[in-house]
Amino acid sequence: MSLSSPGLDSALDTAAVTAARAGRRKAPRLGRRRLTFDYVSFLLVFLGLPLVIFLVFVISPFIQAVYYSMTNWTGFSPNMQFVGLQNFVKLFQDPTFLQAMGNNILLAVVVPLITIVIALIFASMITVGGPSHGNVRGLKGSSFYRVVSFFPYVIPAIVIAILWAMIYSPTGLLNGALGVLGIDNKQWAWLGEQSTAMGATIFVIVWSMVGFYMILFIAAIKGIPGETLEAARIDGAGRFRTVTSIVLPQIRDNVQTAYVYLGIMALDAFVYMAGLNSTGGPSNSTLVMSQYLFRTAFEKGQFGLATAMGVVLAIITLLFAALVIGVFRLIGGKDEGGRS
């Protein structure tokens, strides 16, 4: 918080004055504070207003959603009946929903892992993978790679999805390129065969995300003092050892953040899926919960059930974030308290 804010200054003044007048050692408490105009308006603008906005636009839709998930609302009439947990029971007996949930969990495990590993490798090459004499630095031309690998992130997700849907089509670019290389795969439908649909989809998501997380990690690695890296080198650490023992522990917080963000993105994945395989893929092999939710709400007119799916998705997302933070804490070991 910046101390230059006039509201805050006056608040601090008020606090000081109040304390002085009272002449006691006890810290001033809220209840005894004199309610000057400055103080009240400060509270209203900096605490009250954001809180109201937060309540109206964030909390209340949440609570509404939880309520709707326990009704049989069709979405197009003002009438609905409370049905308790019936929708949730129905969901967990629905094989298609469970399959979609499984696909989401697979995405949430695999996508962050691959993306982060690749992004880390690139980031290390660009920052510490360079020649072993002179300053610790990246490979030759690293600034060029840095810009190029960021390109996919600049393209909107839906454009990426449609682009790749064309590339993957049986007469598309990929099969054409393979044909030039002498591999004839009989116009393989990459997104149309159960064995490759999910893999091809994961590749697209990873492809579009690597650039951004690489930049994120580069920024983090640049924050590590050069002396530390040089000291490691003097002690005889190679590049790989430097990355695993010096760099990684220093940017662990960034990796954790990246993991949570990517996981949340993978649990949604709606845009990629809608562009690549809007129908849910062969035998629903790439169907995700958000797609199924959309379908249930607007095609089948079961808004209550669809909202229940949303609630389940939200709970899974929260659990995922908690799990990731927990795991990182565990592998973080004892040096936790020492920093920041």
Partner 1 sequence: METKDASISRRSLLRGAALAAVMVPLGVSLASCAAPGGGSGGGAGGGTKSADNPFGVAANSKVDAVIFDGGYGVDYVENSGKILAANKKLDGVTVKVSSSTKIAQELQPRFVGGNPPDLIDNSGANSIGWNTILDQLEELDEVLDSNNLEGTKISDTLYGGVKDPGTFDGKFKALNYVMTVYGLWYSSSLFEANGFQVPKSWEDLPALGEAAKAKGKFLFLWGKEAATYYQTLVIDSAVIQSGDDVRLPLENLDPKAWSHPTLQSILKILYDLIQAGYMKPGGAGTQFTQAQSQWSLDQAALLYPSGSWIENEMKKQTAPDFKMMGIPELPLDGKQTTPAGFMRAEAGEPFIVPTKAKNPAGGKELLRTMLSKESATWFAKNKLAPTIVKGTVPEDGFGSTALQSQSKMLDAAGDNVFTIKSTNLYGMNSDQLPIWNTFLAGGMTVEEITKQLQALVDKVKNDSSVTKIEIK
Among 8, 15, 19, 80, binds partner 1 (CB under 8 A): 80
Reference 320, options 274, 266, 282; nearest CA is 266
Using rule CB under 8 A, residue 176 touches partner 1: no
Cα-flanking dihedrals φ and ψ of residue 188, to 5°? -60, 130
82: helix, coil or strand? Answer: strand
Decide whether 18 or 74 has the Cβ nearer to partner 1. 74
- Are the CB atoms for 269 and 157 separated by under 8 Å? no
Q: Which of 7, 28, 249, 282 binds partner 1 (CB under 8 A)?
A: 282
Instruction: Give least dist CB 52 to partner 1, A.
Output: 9
Q: How far is the CB of 326 from partner 1 (least distance, A)?
A: 9
Among 190, 212, 217, 320, binds partner 1 (CB under 8 A): 190
> CA of 246: how far to CAs of 9, 221, 242, in Å?
42, 10, 5
Query: Residue 197 CB, nearest distance to partner 1 (Å)?
Result: 8
Helix (H, G, I), strand (E, B) or coil at 71: strand
Q: How far apart are CA 150 and CA 241, in angstroms?
A: 27
CA dist list (Å): 69 to 98, 243, 317: 17, 48, 17
What is the nearest approach in angstroms of partner 1 to the Cβ of residue 254?
A: 9
| Least CB distance to partner 1 at residue 320 (A) | 14
260 contributes a contact to partner 1 by CB under 8 A: yes
What does the angle CA 11 – CA 6 – CA 20 come to, to the nearest 5 degrees? 30
Among residues 91, 136, 189, 269, the one that binds partner 1 under rule CB under 8 A? 189
Give the number of other Cβ atoms within 10 Å of residue 160's Cβ: 20
CB of 280 to partner 1, least distance (A): 5
In the window 285-324, what residues touch partner 1 (CB under 8 A)?
287, 295, 298-302, 304-305
Of the residues 129, 138, 211, 281, which one makes contact with partner 1 according to CB under 8 A? 281
Stretch binding partner 1 (CB under 8 A), from 13-21, 167-175, 213-221, 229-237: 167-175
Q: How far is the CB of 338 from partner 1 (least distance, A)?
A: 11
Q: Which of 9, 184, 193, 230 touches partner 1 (CB under 8 A)?
A: 193
The answer to whether the CB of 111 falls within 8 A of the CB of 266 is: yes
How far CA 339 is from CA of 220, 249, 328, 331, 336, in Å, comes to 15, 12, 15, 16, 6
The reply on whether position 72 binds partner 1 by CB under 8 A is yes
Q: What is the dihedral angle through the alpha carbons of 151, 162, 298, 91, rounded to the nearest 10 degrees? A: -80
Residue 212 binds to partner 1 (criterion: CB under 8 A): no
Give me the residues paired with residue 82 across strands: 71
Contact status: 240 vs partner 1 (CB under 8 A): no
Measured from the CB of residue 325, what is the shortest distance to partner 1 in angstroms? Answer: 6
Candidate list 37, 76, 84, 235; residue touching partner 1; CB under 8 A: 76
The reply to whether 187 sits near partner 1 by the rule CB under 8 A is yes
Helix extents (H) in 55-180: 60-68, 86-91, 95-127, 142-148, 151-154, 157-168, 173-180
Q: Which residues bind partner 1 (CB under 8 A)?
A: 55-56, 59-60, 62-64, 67, 72-80, 83, 90, 96, 165-166, 168-171, 186-194, 253, 256-257, 260, 277-284, 287, 295, 298-302, 304-305, 325, 328-329, 332, 336-337, 340
